[in-house]
Structure 1
């Protein structure tokens, strides 16, 4: 009978003399770092990781409506962290299910807006066009356009998609091509596709 091997995530305590760089966290150096972060941030304080990300964030924001406590929001936040969005905006209910975020919300700026009107006012004040992503009549194929370099990608919730108020507020509306039998894909998946479309148009390859 062979023993089952489990590959433990992260790294153990720092071997040898500790670094003096203030970005390093003494507790992590002593006990190891099992967080879901890339290797360059191993042993770093959370505040140091956020500060480094803030110096490199991209020009797009992501927003999602949350009228029915949508379970996809955690995935949207995780995708936003992966693609280094400037901020995530939750429109509607303040509380959202964080399980799907896999703790990435600790490193991703998340802002709340009570209403679509409040959110749109914020976007207009910052000169950011609101780009809706939904398979609606009149939507243009996302695959045929270049997304604005500075914008907010707005997603509806599972089932109803963008609300009427959100649709009316959009400066542009794009759809994601689908080839199977399903009527729609959820906001978590759609957000990853749309963010990657922005990345392909505007971002350089990440540093390794």
Structure 2
């Protein structure tokens, strides 16, 4: 049986990740990092940012970021936060907000937290105050009675997508503080889906409704 070639975003066992040292004359653009040019760039970044300084990548992402924010409650040290941060980075969210415990497991973020703005709020009240000050419509995500199907619900262009933690879901204060609560259609036996997966589905729903797809990599 012939093996399939390794795709451009897959982690193949035979080839090193990233690119080696720069070949030929070095670019003079200050966005490039001399250490990366000399030693190679093994980071998990798109080709457009190869050899760039981290600060330069963040600055360019700030120019491209969308008008939605993502928040996740972290009152029980939720292990899904890293996945949420990585997905928020992929969809160019304006910022990720951690509500509750400041510490979170960064392993799932795959170092994308270096390029994504991550803010902390001690409780839901502080988060809601931030949303009001920034004129962000709070959209909570939970499969509770009265929630509206995300598949049939227009999302505001400027919004904060609020997720609960694995297991208990959103706190009552978070549900009450949201302008709307949406749910994701399910058809199997499980009561809920993984919080990190749910966040990705809802973020992509926003992208489908509002993003300029011609600017995707």
TM-score, normalisation: structure 2: 0.93
Runs of at least 4 residues off by over 6 Å? none
Q: How far does residue 187 in structure 1 lie from its aligned partner after superposition?
A: 1.2
Matches within 5 A, 1:13-32: 13-32=21-40
In 1, distance between residues paired with 2:114 and 2:81? 15
Q: State the SS of the aligned residue for 2:169.
A: coil
Residue 134 of structure 1 corresponds to 142
Q: How far does residue 5 in structure 1 lie from its aligned partner after superposition?
A: 6.2
In 1, distance between residues paired with 2:186 and 2:216? 32
Residue 82 of structure 1 corresponds to 90
Q: How far does residue 155 in structure 1 lie from its aligned partner after superposition?
A: 0.1
Residue 166 of structure 2 corresponds to 158
Q: State the SS of the aligned residue for 2:64.
A: coil
Q: Which moved more, 1:5-14 or 1:94-103?
A: 5-14
**In the comparison of the two structures, how many residue pairs are matched?**
205
> Which whole-Å deviations, capped at 9, do the CAs of 1:159-188 have from their partners, x for residues lacking one?
000011111111100000001111101210
TM-score, normalisation: structure 1: 0.97
CA gap of 1:119–1:30, structure 2 versus 1, over 3 A, is same
Among candidates 51, 67, 76, match of residue 43 of structure 1: 51
In 2, distance between residues paired with 1:201 and 1:146? 8
Q: Which runs of 5+ in 1 are unaligned?
A: none
Q: Which runs of 5+ in 2 are unaligned?
A: 1-11
> Which whole-Å deviations, capped at 9, do the CAs of 1:108-151 have from their partners, x for residues lacking one?
00000001001100101111111001101100000001100000
> Which whole-Å deviations, capped at 9, do the CAs of 1:20-43 have from their partners, x for residues lacking one?
000000000000000000000000
- State yes or no: 1:187 paired with 2:188: no
- State yes or no: 1:116 paired with 2:124: yes
CA-atom RMSD in angstroms? 1.1
